[in-house]
Chain A
Amino acid sequence: MSGIGPLTVRELKKWYRNPVFFVTGLLQPFFWIALFGSAFDITKFFPQASELVLGGAPNYITYIVGGVLTISGLFTAMFAGTNIIFDRRLGPMGRFLSSPIRRSSIVFSKVFSSVIRILPQILILIAAAIIIPNGLKFANGFTVPDALVLLTAIILISLIFSSIFSAIAIRMTNMNSIFGIVNLVNLPLLFVSYAMFSSEMMAGWLADIAKYNPVSWSAESIRMVIINGSNMTMSQWGQIGEWLGGLAVLAVSLTLLTAYLAEKEIRD
């Protein structure tokens, strides 16, 4: 009697039936890879330093795919909480709360549906990156374990941030507050990370903070498997294990915290 199934199905129906919501969600990764890939292409500014800043990637698009994938997951996840507020303001919350379902299933249906919504975005983004001129190149191939790393990193990122933003929305009634918080943290999370630039390109203090940003861990993991493909060394796998391990610990603890808060605090 968890309610998580029917509630997640509901969220997904609302997504794929709304053409604007659906299409914009799918177009967004395309814009991102094309725009970010050109606008921030650091090799244009410093052609002679491209070896250093690209860390072995054949071009900038290949370098930032991991970052854009992560950011795409992050931005979708940050809006997971808004539907909790809509449900409260428009009435369905009252129905959920008087049903014998777990309170946390109301919140986790938003978390899981936003994780699911990210999956087609991943495919489109990678396809777009390959199609565009001077785009994504798998110079050393791309293996199944590489694909699993990519998927795991994005799923963990979306779990982490959709949990955080759902937890924030548990007691909130005003939509503007959550938009405010999203706007406050989205660009810092993006730019204080290795999503777009390597640590060598950053001011020292910024690079030091970025080291602890989970966005960096995900972006770097994906970047590493994309650049090295089938030539991954044991020490590189070890590094990826550390990053993904960190993400997993964060995801699990935030999920537990959100579950606890939802059971205890959610109300109409």
Chain B
Amino acid sequence: MPGNIIETKDLTKIYKGNIRAVDSLNIQIKEGEVYGLLGPNGAGKRTTINMLITRISPTSGTASVDGFDIVKESLQVRKTIGVVPQDLTADEDLTGRENLVMVSQFYDVPKPTAEDRIRQLLKLVDLEDAADRYVNTYSGGMRKRLELILGLVHDPKILFLDEPTLGLDIQTRTQMWDYVREIQERLNVTIILTSHYLEEIDALADMVSIIDHGKVLITGTPEELKESLKGDIITITLKDEANVEVMKKVPNVVEVTEHGPNTLRIKVVNADESLPDIINYISKNGLSTNKLTVQKPTLDEVFLEYTGRNIRSEEPADARKMMMNMRRMRR
């Protein structure tokens, strides 16, 4: 079983004005997994990431990245990790390849090795044809793909992806997910992913931590988290008056509540198994249905359950940079 590649111990960051952005955070990330950090704005995601990538130092507590202390061995940490920040970082006045070469020189990658690797990476994200064009001619999706591989030129063990698809349209976003999956499979890197999009975490992450107020609320696989809600929801609208008590007698039904006229909201352990029972029961009792919907739990609901907030109403963290990125994407 692979060991922990990242471990934090009571990691804490207190900003001016006694704001506890990160409060005694303890997380363990296993080698080779995609680890999602999910939380509303101001939850401490970005501060946590910034400490792990040694951009800022913690107020107290420690963390180790690939065995290196983030404070005492920050240079070592920076060599081991690749970072794909939320903002676009490529120089628009250089070509894609020139950007990649420059970054490879930051890490002292020998020239032939770098050239080989850059060729592979460009191929991986389908940017071979655009490699020698100036970055200011790239589309939004192409720029994001370039950012993705800029973090990989030095063959890092760990890749930090901060909101990799922010501001992209849905089609481009799902395309990015394919690239991220491919990177993880082919290059065998551990990926730490923060995202605003729950479906992104759901699609990519092996493990998720939901954090809020600088603390971890819950950690688990996306499936575990969804299961922790204990059940699927079946909503039935009957032609006749609905009887809550009667429906409770169906096996495996956890909870039945009235949900509008003639409508019942039934929470079951597993909708796939319970649905036939419920339909049988309805027909046996001479009832007939108008409408029947099944809802499997999503991470949205998990998020709502644990943070008490709906992630959809959240605004992106840095409005100025966000707008600037969007503007550049649209070109």
Contacts and interface: CB of A to CB of B under 8 A. Distances in A.
B233 to A, nearest CB: 42
Given A98-B53, A100-B79, A10 B107 contact: no
A5 B105 contact: yes
Interface in A1-43: 1, 3, 5-7, 9-10, 13-14, 17-18
Interface in A58-103: 89-101
Interface in A92-131: 92-101
- Which of B54, B79, B85 has the most A CB atoms < 10 Å from its CB? B85
A6 B106 contact: yes
B91 interface: yes
B55 A97 contact: yes
Contacts of B108: 1
Interface stretch (B59-67, B92-100, B163-171, B198-206): B92-100
Contacts of B53: 98
Nearest to A15: B93
Contact of A98 (B78, B91, B98): B78
A263 interface: no
Given A13-B98, A94-B85, A100 B91 contact: no
A95 B103 contact: yes
A11 to B, nearest CB: 10
A13 B94 contact: yes
Nearest to A17: B93
A251 B107 CA distance: 30
A97 B105 CA distance: 14
Interface residues of B, number: 27
B91 A10 contact: yes
Contact of A92 (B91, B101, B324): B91
B201 to A, nearest CB: 22
A221 B101 CA distance: 42
Contact of A268 (B55, B92, B101): B55
A89 B87 CA distance: 10
A91 B88 contact: yes
Nearest to A18: B93
A95 B85 contact: yes
Contacts of B81: 98
A167 B106 CA distance: 22
A130 B130 CA distance: 47
Contacts of B323: none
B150 interface: yes
B102 A94 contact: no
Interface in B88-142: 88-94, 98, 101-103, 105-108
Contacts of A267: 55
A88 to B, nearest CB: 10
A101 B215 CA distance: 32
B75 interface: yes
B105 A3 contact: yes
B158 to A, nearest CB: 12
A58 to B, nearest CB: 45
- Which of A18, A93, A96, A100 has the most B CB atoms < 10 Å from its CB? A100
- Which of A3, A5, A7, A18 has the most B CB atoms < 10 Å from its CB? A3
B93 A100 contact: no
Contact of B94 (A1, A10, A95): A10
Nearest to A96: B106
B89 A99 contact: no
A6 B109 CA distance: 12
B83 interface: yes
Nearest 4 Cβ contacts at the A-B interface: A95-B89, A6-B105, A99-B106, A100-B78
Interface of B: 53-55, 75, 78-79, 81, 83, 85, 87-94, 98, 101-103, 105-108, 150, 324
Interface of A: 1, 3, 5-7, 9-10, 13-14, 17-18, 89-101, 267-268
Given A92-B89, A96-B106, A268-B55, 11 more contacts: A5-B105, A6-B106, A10-B98, A13-B94, A14-B91, A17-B93, A18-B93, A94-B87, A95-B90, A98-B85, A99-B107
17 contacts: A6-B106, A9-B102, A13-B93, A14-B94, A90-B88, A90-B324, A91-B87, A91-B89, A91-B90, A95-B150, A98-B53, A98-B55, A98-B81, A98-B85, A99-B78, A100-B79, A267-B55
